[in-house]
Amino acid sequence: MTDKIAIIGFGNIANAIITPLLDKKYIQPENVFCVVNSKESLENIKKNYKYKINVYKSGSIESKIIWDCQYKLLSIKPQQFNEITEAHYIKNKDNLIVSILAGVSINRLTKKFPNHKCVRVVTNIPITIGQGLTGIAWGEGITKNQKQFTKKLFENTSRIYEFSEDYLDIFLALTSSGPAIISLIIEALSDGGLSGGLPKTLSEELVLEMIIGTTSLIKENKLSTSELKNLVTSPGGTTIAALRVLEKKSVRSALIESIISACNRSKEFR
Ligand SMILES: NC(=O)c1ccc[n+]([C@@H]2O[C@H](COP(=O)([O-])OP(=O)(O)OC[C@H]3O[C@@H](n4cnc5c(N)ncnc54)[C@H](OP(=O)(O)O)[C@@H]3O)[C@@H](O)[C@H]2O)c1
């Protein structure tokens, strides 16, 4: 990837996408042009980021250079979307915007960036350790090279799924909100261990290892979730006592509704 790339918003997720590409030398620091909002972030990147990339403050005259880059990663928060305005001059043809903004549709992107082809991407926080899940929906007229470039951005750190845009909201709910839901479950189960007398850190460690072991077992032995459940649930035993409480409290229904609610919220951003 010898092309210049602009990064509009260099926060947690942009960092997780770009740093491994720099580590692997797929892109060169001098070809990265990023823009951030605050002086603090600007200074922080200049001082502490491990690569000498080009970084500018939003609104500055120098930051206009980003519009010269054919490829752009849009990685601000959805709430900051209205603050970005496409420069009125664009030198290049075949400009591409790859947006990772939750919920912001290809239609909105295309209206905002009329000189660009637009791609909408949903990725999730495990991308920061190279174990992300990335859903991609292509806008109209994306070239083969632009597709290749986009995939290259994410394939290093995540598993890629290509979808029609209709699936992205539910994909986001499951994979991008999912880590918070799982964290809440881990926290609650550890509190259960704590209530039973275990030290907090040990309780949390046991829950984490139990979840990793369980998911690995399901995956490696190709078990269905009900097969696994039946394996460990004996008549009149402890596990059925636990499951009975979860059913009584409608935990299954609460989890289903939590995903639908995240999906609906994502649709509201459109
Ligand atoms: N967090 C997640 O779990 C997750 C997962 C998948 C996708 N996403 C998506 O990824 C996007 C970024 O999330 P994040 O967690 O990386 O956010 P973040 O850490 O808050 O980063 C946002 C970046 O945008 C910059 N910015 C704000 N306003 C700007 C402006 N007007 N012009 C240029 N830059 C501006 C910020 O600069 P300052 O630091 O100077 O304010 C910061 O560098 C979001 O749209 C989110 O939907 C997030």
Q: Is the pLDDT of residue 269 over 80?
A: no
pLDDT tens-place string over residues 207-254: 999 999 999 999 999 999 999 999 999 999 999 999 999 999 999 999
CATH code 3.40.50.720 for 5-164 = yes
pLDDT band at 4 (very low <50, low <70, confident <90, very high): very high
Report which ligand 1 atom has the smallest distance to the Cα of 102. 47
| Residue keyed to tokens 């260099």 | 10
Taking the centre of ligand 1 as the mean of its atom positions, its distance from the CA of residue 82, in whole angstroms, is 13
CB-CB neighbours of 114 under 10 Å: 9
Name the 3-class secondary structure at 131. Answer: coil
First-to-final CA distance of the chain: 32
pLDDT of residue 94: 82
**Please, where are the H alpha helices in the chain?**
12-23, 39-48, 106-112, 144-155, 168-175, 178-195, 200-220, 225-232, 238-248, 251-268
Query: 137 CB less than 6 Å from ligand 1?
Result: no
CATH superfamily, with its number, for domain 178-268: ProC C-terminal domain-like (1.10.3730.10)
Residues of the chain with CATH 1.10.3730.10: 178-268
pLDDT tens-place string over residues 180-192: 999 999 999 999 9
Instruction: Supply the pTM of this predicted model.
Output: 0.91
Query: 12 CB less than 6 Å from ligand 1?
Result: yes
